[in-house]
Amino acid sequence: MSEAQIKELDVVELTADPGRWPAGTIGTVVEVFPSSALVEIADERGHSEDFVTLPFDVLRPVRAQDQKQLTI
- Domain span at 47: 11-70
The better pLDDT of the pair 69, 50 is held by 50
User: Using one digit for the tens of pLDDT, what is the confidence trace for 1-56?
Assistant: 444 589 999 999 999 998 899 999 999 999 999 999 999 999 999 999 999 999 99
Residue 38 belongs to some domain of the structure: yes
Q: Are 59 and 1 in contact (CB under 8 A)?
A: yes
pLDDT band at 68 (very low <50, low <70, confident <90, very high): low
Q: What is the pLDDT of residue 56?
A: 96
Q: In the chain, how many domains are there?
A: 1
Q: What is the pLDDT of residue 12?
A: 97
Q: What is the pLDDT of residue 50?
A: 96
CATH of the domain at 56: 2.30.30.140
Residue 4 belongs to some domain of the structure: no
Answer positive or negative: Cα dihedral of 56, 59, 63, 67. Answer: negative
Residue 6 belongs to some domain of the structure: no
